[in-house]
Structure 1
């Protein structure tokens, strides 16, 4: 493994799901939590605030489709407020309720059915993810970048932000070449670390110094 990659993984090699307290597994609860986090991170708001809001929502009982749907709109607004997600709190509270209902209606509350529906094709999976309000191309990238940890058929998934981070660190930018830098099980963490390097010049400087 390249020395820069080793240092990057040591300093920033954790997924955003891990930071939100999600133990990512190919299980309904964990995948729904990742979808919630994706929705929150898709807005023009800092990752730290999105992570904090996700933790508050999960603590309030919104960690499953049924639990999120059972929360009142005001309870969702209040949880977002405690996470300082105040700029988009009202529209997001509505969107999260609709998303929870959509997961229940289309997938029976179990997002493990999405790969089956998509035929394990990343392009088709992207289309299905965009059916959820609030998730556009950026959200698709966030979800797939993290989900590759448990859905091997998405690998390697390095979106534009991750490739920007790789370029900043002087690493290859082609996804297949980047994938050769770490074991398959670490691809999600590596991609997240590259995104952090793209967003944080100080981190990138520390890793390359």
Structure 2
């Protein structure tokens, strides 16, 4: 989103995280702008019974919850590395200094935040579906629409069955059962345990 050298010129530094390291936790106050350079990060919460709900999985080039910097409230979620990753982080005040001196980035952030909100609305809609197949299809359609190739089974779903379950509020067993049914109905293909939609 923002060039590394520009972030460095405003005081950013690099930070490495191992798999399962917490980048920030629910209840902490936002202190940094985070941009992923390598690896993947999940944004999650846990319900009262300890079940994980993954709100989003972010990868290279994406920003970790930039919206939290614009309000004076603690994070309502966690950010956790799901594989070894490297991020560049810029202190909050330096981030605002950058924006005030480079206002062209406001448009980029507005688009990024709008896309993020669109995704959240899509996922909230899926949670209202009773049929697990509709939940999975909505998520897969959203992910696939960003790809250039739109032919059947051209998109490899980048998530594990566990991650699909956590993203859609389903159990792993339900995801496994429904994806097998979807394959039988020719809605997707499973090759070497990978899902192609």
TM-score by length of 1: 0.31
User: Would you tell me which structure has more helix in proportion to its own residues?
Assistant: 1
Q: 1 or 2 for the larger relative contact order (CA 8 Å, sep ≥6)?
A: 1
User: Would you tell me which structure has more strand in proportion to its own residues?
Assistant: 2
TM-score by length of 2: 0.32
